[in-house]
Amino acid sequence: MTDDVTTLDVVVGGPAGRTISPDLWGVFLEDINFALDGGLNADLVRNGDFEAGPADRPGWGPLTGWSVESGEVRAGSALPVSSANATYASLLPGEGAAFLVNRGYGADGMPVPAATFGLTLTARTHEPGARLTAGLRPVGGSVSAASELTLPSDGRWHRIGTMLRRPDAARMELVVEARSGRVDLDLVELRPLDASGRPELFRRDLVEAVRRLRPAFVRFPGGCLVHGFGLDNMYHWKTTIGPREQRLPLPNTWGYHQSMAIGYHEYFLLCEELGAAPVPIVAAGVCCQNVPGGPQAIPAGRMPQYVQDVVDVVEYANGAPDTRWGAVRAAAGHPEPFGLRMIGLGNEDVVDAPFVERFAQLTEALRAAHPEIELIGTAGPWPFGRDFEAGWELCRRLGIDLVDEHGYRTPRWIWQNHERYDGYDRTGPAVYLGEWAARSSTVRSAIAEAGYMVALERNADIVRMASYAPLLARVGDSQWEPDLIYFTDDAVLGSAAYDVHRLFAEARGDQVLDVQVSGAPLGHQPEPRLGPTALTCPGARVSFTHIEADGVPLPDVVVDDEHPETTLAVPPLTRRLALTATREDGTEGFQVRLGDPASGTTHDVIVGSWGNRSLIWSRSDDGLGDEVDGPYPFAGVQTGVPRRIEVERDGSRVVVRHDGAVVHDHTDDRRSWPEVVVGATSRTVEGDVERVVTIVNGSDRDRTARVSVKGVTGPVTATSTVLAGSEPEAGAAFEASALHRRDDRVEGLGELALVVPRWSITSLRVRAG
């Protein structure tokens, strides 16, 4: 089969005997990239609880997000609103007013998404003459209608509110002003009012964007956020519910402040609003392993309470209002249950003895108290490796219902691993592909993802659930890319992956159908190459000496920030590269890149990645790279200590030695892959059987497809949706999708003939016979 064949024959058969899980496509909401405060949380005030501090981000403090225009404003902590919200602002007017201004999350002021806003704040004063007013004004302008807030001078905290009208401007600021006496201020919230005058909990345009994905479930709150950066940073659901002042804000793992204004209760409300099942993930009693000092576990003596807390979340979600936690939910305004069906234990944890012990304790307690709840285990951060194997083994042993696999991989890896789930054991736990994405927001990544989604759907009897990650990212304030949905204060920018996910959600089938394809071209993976060779050392100055390429000595080089990449003038290098690297200065390690970037594929020996803590052998295809061996723990490159690196290649196998010891012995994955994949499912629409045929073309050529349904010779009609990109590299993170959508109708006799454009996904909803 060669790429010269541009005609594709697709024959759709009968049921393949696999029922597609109704929970297949969901979303994963983690507070990363300002997804909640500054994102989904409709509150426009930044740091309204005055709890920001250096633990959130160096340089931050209680008045971050606020500016003092006149008078004096100090952070206070004596007799706070609550111990959970220990810091407040004291407005100390002098001759004139004490004037505090908040501009929200954007650099140029708050957006103005409504005509009226509800302002609520908590304040106290001891001084009878003290006056508190609040208003909105155009950025840098003046407040036209300030609202005076009635505040008793009894020295107690009071929650008070008022309605404010939008100023006549595209950007605004909130102004809070105290006169004639000190006023303490905390928990300031400004929310757009909806048509019936109620304050919005969620930013509407973001909710609508998520709704268009028709998520069957919402995973929350993490991700890494769940187990936290150290035991004190672990996410505990009980500290995120109840009145706002009782919620415990936390430094966010991703380097900012989380107010918990969107806590567990709001999460359940969101699921309800979206018609999605909640899938909470809780820490399995251990914190993130990537903290200084390594993994830490909740001490054994504190585990019974922690286990009880986890068991209680089920009662909070599902318990009758006369149960202890059901009553708390009812008091929050929701007597009806939230319908929790499953819960995840752990996230990407190291599967070591403390983890296993705690995971088993949680499993046992949940099973005893709530046998109706399905349990999801964890299998490490990569779709292979030690924790992957150990996580799966543990889940099989304990009879866990689903295993949470994660896979952030390159488009090439995704294409090469299409058949991954075809041979999965159908008798053990099912798969929840809880976090996955190709490595960019380009057309190339989105089309690879679409191909993988065909494979996931084909295996949706065993891959019961999948959620791309992360879901949301604020443009200009993000810690992770790619993401499914980018947003600014004013706009929602669905990525190419978002378009693809939407299409799959719209065309979700019930049954997998057999499908035969001929004419699909194959992509081929080139052999690893050792030359040309480039040396890079971001964050270090390294001298490379005793360099030999296939036995030929080369001159010494020094690589530093001024010469960040040096390409060695190597002869055609086929077998062996050796060099001695000595760091002269800096804190990081170094990297040896092998192969010609112009060929599309390179390999890297990475010595001291992840803050000089790991050893990695990685492969990049089409400019996107992934670890293919490692990361292995590493004591770090030391200044002044030479390290001899030898790389030997024998066909697809590469062996890397450090000071004579083998670190990597890896055989490259050279599997070819079909550049066009086709899937078929069926469902019932308005009483008729509809077949959904999905054709993903990840090649550089348009293809003509002839699609027929076995046994049907008469008229065939289909509505088609095509998402096509002009070039594979089109599109980027923080931009709207580079895929273009076209909806059409196709008709034929016995078969449908259509052109499947290069770099596209075509979804045909076929009615035949």
Query: Rounded distance, CA 496 to CA 487, Å?
Result: 14
Looking at the Cβ atoms of 10 and 224, the one nearer to ligand AHR is 224
Q: Are 592 and 647 in contact (CB under 8 A)?
A: yes
Query: Contacting ligand AHR (CB under 6 A), which of 469, 535, 680, 692?
Result: 469
Q: Which of 123, 181, 203 is nearest to 489 (CA)?
A: 203
Three-state secondary structure call for residue 414? helix
Looking at the Cβ atoms of 254 and 316, the one nearer to ligand AHR is 254
Separation in Å, CA 135 to CA 17, 102, 166, 187, 201: 63, 11, 9, 16, 21
Of 70-78, 222-230, 311-319, 708-716: span binding ligand AHR (CB under 6 A): 222-230
Q: Would you state the structure tokens that stand for residue 461, as one six-digit string?
A: 């009897």
Looking at the Cβ atoms of 30 and 374, the one nearer to ligand AHR is 30
Separation in Å, CA 747 to CA 12, 102, 760: 16, 59, 20
Query: Contacting ligand AHR (CB under 6 A), which of 120, 480, 623, 735?
Result: 480
Minimal distance, residue 539 CB to ligand AHR, in Å: 22
Minimal distance, residue 223 CB to ligand AHR, in Å: 3
* Contact flag: residue 280 with ligand AHR (CB under 6 A): no
Q: Are 600 and 614 in contact (CB under 8 A)?
A: no
Looking at the Cβ atoms of 28 and 759, the one nearer to ligand AHR is 28
Q: How far is CA 499 from the centre of its chain?
A: 16
Sequence-distant (6+) residues with CB within 8 A of 748 are 715, 716, 717
Looking at the Cβ atoms of 390 and 655, the one nearer to ligand AHR is 390
Q: Would you state the structure tokens that stand for residue 209, as one six-digit string?
A: 């964007």
Query: Would you call 521 exposed, middle or buried from its count of C-beta atoms within 10 A (0-12, 13-18, 19+)?
Result: buried
CA dihedral (134, 138, 144, 148) in degrees, to 10, reads 0
Minimal distance, residue 150 CB to ligand AHR, in Å: 45
Looking at the Cβ atoms of 112 and 224, the one nearer to ligand AHR is 224
Looking at the Cβ atoms of 181 and 344, the one nearer to ligand AHR is 344
Query: Rounded distance, CA 367 to CA 373, Å?
Result: 8
Looking at the Cβ atoms of 434 and 528, the one nearer to ligand AHR is 434
Which 292-311 residues touch ligand AHR, going by CB under 6 A?
Answer: none
- Length, in residues, of the chain: 769
Q: Would you state the structure tokens that stand for residue 524, as one six-digit string?
A: 């081929």
Minimal distance, residue 480 CB to ligand AHR, in Å: 5
Residue 480, φ and ψ in degrees, nearest 5: -150, 135
Of 192-200, 221-229, 709-717, 730-738: span binding ligand AHR (CB under 6 A): 221-229
Query: Rounded distance, CA 332 to CA 695, Å?
Result: 47
* Contact flag: residue 65 with ligand AHR (CB under 6 A): no
Q: How far is CA 406 from the centre of its chain?
A: 11
Q: How many CA atoms lie within 13 A of 281 on its CB side?
A: 30
Minimal distance, residue 470 CB to ligand AHR, in Å: 4
Looking at the Cβ atoms of 268 and 382, the one nearer to ligand AHR is 382
Q: Would you state the structure tokens that stand for residue 219, as one six-digit string?
A: 């995973």
Residue nearest to ligand AHR (CB): 223
Of 220-228, 265-273, 439-447, 669-677: span binding ligand AHR (CB under 6 A): 220-228
Q: Are 259 and 245 in contact (CB under 8 A)?
A: no
Minimal distance, residue 382 CB to ligand AHR, in Å: 10
**Residue corresponding to tokens 């000089």:** 612
* Contact flag: residue 435 with ligand AHR (CB under 6 A): yes
Of 218-226, 489-497, 685-693, 734-742: span binding ligand AHR (CB under 6 A): 218-226
Q: Are 184 and 123 in contact (CB under 8 A)?
A: yes
Pairing of strands 342-345, 277-282: parallel
Minimal distance, residue 387 CB to ligand AHR, in Å: 12
Query: Rounded distance, CA 51 to CA 61, Å?
Result: 7
Minimal distance, residue 437 CB to ligand AHR, in Å: 8
Which 362-401 residues touch ligand AHR, going by CB under 6 A?
Answer: 381
Looking at the Cβ atoms of 424 and 480, the one nearer to ligand AHR is 480
Query: Rounded distance, CA 429 to CA 420, Å?
Result: 16
User: What crossing angle do the helices spanning 324-331 and 303-318 adopt, rounded to 10°?
Assistant: 60
Residues pairing with 619 in the sheet: 603, 626
Residues pairing with 523 in the sheet: 673
* Contact flag: residue 610 with ligand AHR (CB under 6 A): no
* Contact flag: residue 224 with ligand AHR (CB under 6 A): yes
Which 337-356 residues touch ligand AHR, going by CB under 6 A?
Answer: 347-348
The radius of gyration of the chain from alpha carbons, rounded to an integer in Å, stands at 29
Minimal distance, residue 431 CB to ligand AHR, in Å: 16
Angle at 60 between CA 56 and CA 65, to 5 degrees: 110
* Contact flag: residue 223 with ligand AHR (CB under 6 A): yes
Looking at the Cβ atoms of 147 and 479, the one nearer to ligand AHR is 479
Across 191-215, b (16+ Cβ under 10 Å) vs e yields bbbeeeeebbbbbeebbebbebbbb
Minimal distance, residue 244 CB to ligand AHR, in Å: 25
Minimal distance, residue 253 CB to ligand AHR, in Å: 7
Looking at the Cβ atoms of 8 and 29, the one nearer to ligand AHR is 29
Query: Contacting ligand AHR (CB under 6 A), which of 138, 222, 354, 429?
Result: 222
Give, for 393, the enclosing helix (H) or strand (E).
helix 386-398
* Contact flag: residue 470 with ligand AHR (CB under 6 A): yes
Minimal distance, residue 694 CB to ligand AHR, in Å: 26
User: What crossing angle do the helices spanning 264-274 and 204-211 adopt, rounded to 10°?
Assistant: 50
* Contact flag: residue 629 with ligand AHR (CB under 6 A): no
Minimal distance, residue 408 CB to ligand AHR, in Å: 7
Looking at the Cβ atoms of 408 and 424, the one nearer to ligand AHR is 408
**Residue corresponding to tokens 């599967």:** 351
The sign of the dihedral angle between the CA atoms of 437, 439, 442, 443 is negative
Applying CB under 6 A, what is the total number of residues that bind ligand AHR? 12
Minimal distance, residue 436 CB to ligand AHR, in Å: 9
Give, for 74, the enclosing helix (H) or strand (E).
strand 72-76
**Residue corresponding to tokens 């009662």:** 315
Query: Rounded distance, CA 224 to CA 475, Å?
Result: 21
Minimal distance, residue 34 CB to ligand AHR, in Å: 14
Minimal distance, residue 381 CB to ligand AHR, in Å: 5
Residue 650, φ and ψ in degrees, nearest 5: -135, 95
Looking at the Cβ atoms of 30 and 315, the one nearer to ligand AHR is 30
Minimal distance, residue 282 CB to ligand AHR, in Å: 14
Looking at the Cβ atoms of 35 and 216, the one nearer to ligand AHR is 35
Minimal distance, residue 561 CB to ligand AHR, in Å: 29
Looking at the Cβ atoms of 45 and 471, the one nearer to ligand AHR is 471
Looking at the Cβ atoms of 224 and 366, the one nearer to ligand AHR is 224
Of 219-227, 356-364, 511-519, 583-591: span binding ligand AHR (CB under 6 A): 219-227
Looking at the Cβ atoms of 348 and 499, the one nearer to ligand AHR is 348
Query: Rounded distance, CA 622 to CA 698, Å?
Result: 13
Q: Footprint of ligand AHR on this chain (CB under 6 A)? A: 30, 32, 222-224, 347-348, 381, 435, 469-470, 480
